[in-house]
Copies of this chain bind each other. A is one copy, B any other.
Amino acid sequence: MQLDDHLYAVILAGGSGTRFWPLSRELYPKQMLSFLGPHSLFQETLLRLHGAIPATRTLIVTNVRQAFDLRSQAASIDSGYRFLEEPESKNTAPAIGLAAHALQLQDPEAIMAVMPSDHWVKDRSRFLQLLQGALEPARRGLLVTFGIRPTRPETGFGYVQVEQAAPRGPDRSPAGSPSDRLLPVRRFVEKPDGETARRFLEEGAYYWNSGIFVWKAEVILQEIERYLPQLSRLLAEVRASLGTAAEAAQLTRAYRHMEAISIDYGVMERKADSVVLLEADVGWHDLGSWSALDEVCERDPAGNIASGNLYDLGSRNSILLAGTRLLATVGLEGMVVVDTEDATLVCPKEHSQRVREIAEGLKRQGREEQAIHRTVHRPWGQYTVLEKGEGYKIKRIVVNPGARLSLQLHRRRSEHWVVLSGVARVTIAGRSFELQPHQSSFVPIGTPHRLENPGTIPLQIIEAQIGDYVEEDDIERMDDQYGREVVRPPETPPPLSA
């Protein structure tokens, strides 16, 4: 069922998750993880809308540092998705405002359904029914928010108080219109303390704020103008550049001055009139910590959620996610154990909210395990750091068929390449040649070089970097097909042969 022609999806996919560390990393956040099935939460969000809102009317707002991975994930579903890349994360108000401008430029009547990319929705058809039900009030200029009826005195969510709660009980007759459950909103409330949350639960006129909104682009821009005038001005300045070659530079300039603020705090909490709530009885979960998996995943007969290279003796009610390394567990009860290539988490379920403290603590210490995985995705393929030691780093590099790395040089390291499989075309100091498996090549310090895969299967090589400094920032790109920053080397540039 295709929904209204003026309805656009705005997927907020810029979050940098800390709660699912070590599976999530700053640059590989929760929405990119696929622990619930073959698709990531981000992909599930796209699939939820598939057939109802076409990819060409779906705008994904993300951080420039995560865009490559998300574009890859989106492309496996449909090639038509549109992306807006924020230069920095400034919370939801700038992202939503930017999306509203982009949509309204194209379609002055645009209605936008804003939603996070890292939540779980069980009942897709009900969700689409609610979107349909939100169209009419949105068209009338109302701000529609999806509210979740609380089941516990949760202190981790914002709440929405309505004038009067909807009657409890089933109201799911296929014919019944969801707009019957449209409730006038009295106010948005920040995350409460425990006592307040218990009171909200008792009083009954409070809903969890799901972060899903439906409104006209024009209307939310008016609200931003009213409540967030500085943001409004900055957005107005970049509007004309959206979709043009100047977009990235303009956004970089504007975002530098932007305040990081959520749409809830910046607009919704300050606004009383013309906000309505739809009770979203869709089987929603925010997946706020590892223990949430218990509520959305199937468990085995012992109550475990288990995967990967696991050797378990008699554990129960535990979340045991092994990777390729061996994880051996004995007699665990109610534990979370998550193993990745470079880091392992062990935590009782009741403490799984504290995992973000670990991620934050590691970040303060500047530790890589917080930000990236041992395997890093790049536009041309991926690399895995096999070992880093004093004066060397060893990587396995996979170059996709037809892809090529930038023409680059390093000032402090030499590189050896040994082809494991596939065919490499190598350019070193202007000379190009092909390498087959078992063959190798050497890139001296300071020598311009380029690696590409001219073949039809992935190219796999081992790279041994040797030098007194082997960090990723020792790179000068002279030519790059993925639009990354390029510098001219200070000396005479070599001929660009590729």
Contact = CB atoms under 8 A, between A and B. Distances in A.
Contact of A326 (B335, B344, B437): B344
Given A311-B358, A337-B346, A328 B22 contact: yes
Contacts of A346: 327-330, 332, 335, 337, 346
Interface in A363-399: 367, 369, 384, 386-387, 389-392, 394, 396
A471 B350 CA distance: 44
Interface stretch (A27-35, A180-188, A412-420, A476-484): A412-420
A420 B330 contact: no
A357 interface: yes
Given A337-B346, A362-B311, A367-B326, A464 B354 contact: no
A438 B466 contact: yes
B396 A420 contact: no
B325 A343 contact: yes
Contacts of A327: 343-344, 346
Interface string A320-361: 000001111111110101010011111110111011011001
A81 interface: no
A317 interface: no
Contacts of A394: 386, 394, 396, 462
B348 A344 contact: no
A442 interface: yes
A155 interface: no
A104 interface: no
A313 interface: yes
A342 B339 CA distance: 11
Contacts of A311: 358, 361-362
Interface residues of A, number: 57
A326 B351 contact: no
A241 interface: no
A343 to B, nearest CB: 4
Contact of A328 (B344, B420, B466): B344
A219 B391 CA distance: 60
A440 B466 CA distance: 12
A16 interface: no
A421 interface: yes
Nearest to A339: B344
Contacts of A330: 345-348, 351-352, 354-355, 357-358
A389 B386 CA distance: 12
A319 to B, nearest CB: 12
A439 to B, nearest CB: 8
A338 to B, nearest CB: 9
Contacts of A335: 346
Contacts of A362: 311, 326, 328
A99 to B, nearest CB: 36
Contacts of A390: 421
Given A344-B325, A420-B466, A437-B466, A351 B367 contact: no
Contacts of A337: 346
A389 B420 contact: yes
Contacts of A344: 325-328, 339, 344
Contacts of A442: 438, 440
A466 B355 CA distance: 41
A488 B218 CA distance: 85
Given A344-B344, A394-B396, A354 B326 contact: no
- The list of the 8 closest CB pairs from A to B, nearest first, reads A331-B351, A330-B347, A326-B343, A386-B386, A418-B464, A392-B420, A416-B418, A330-B351
Given A392-B462, A416-B440, A440-B442, 20 more contacts: A21-B328, A311-B362, A313-B357, A325-B342, A327-B346, A328-B346, A329-B346, A330-B348, A330-B352, A330-B354, A330-B357, A332-B347, A332-B348, A335-B346, A346-B346, A387-B396, A389-B396, A391-B420, A391-B437, A420-B464
Interface of A: 21-22, 311, 313, 325-333, 335, 337, 339, 342-348, 350-352, 354-355, 357-358, 361-362, 367, 369, 384, 386-387, 389-392, 394, 396, 414, 416, 418, 420-421, 437-438, 440, 442, 444, 460, 462, 464, 466
8 contacts: A325-B344, A330-B345, A330-B357, A332-B347, A332-B348, A339-B344, A394-B462, A416-B416
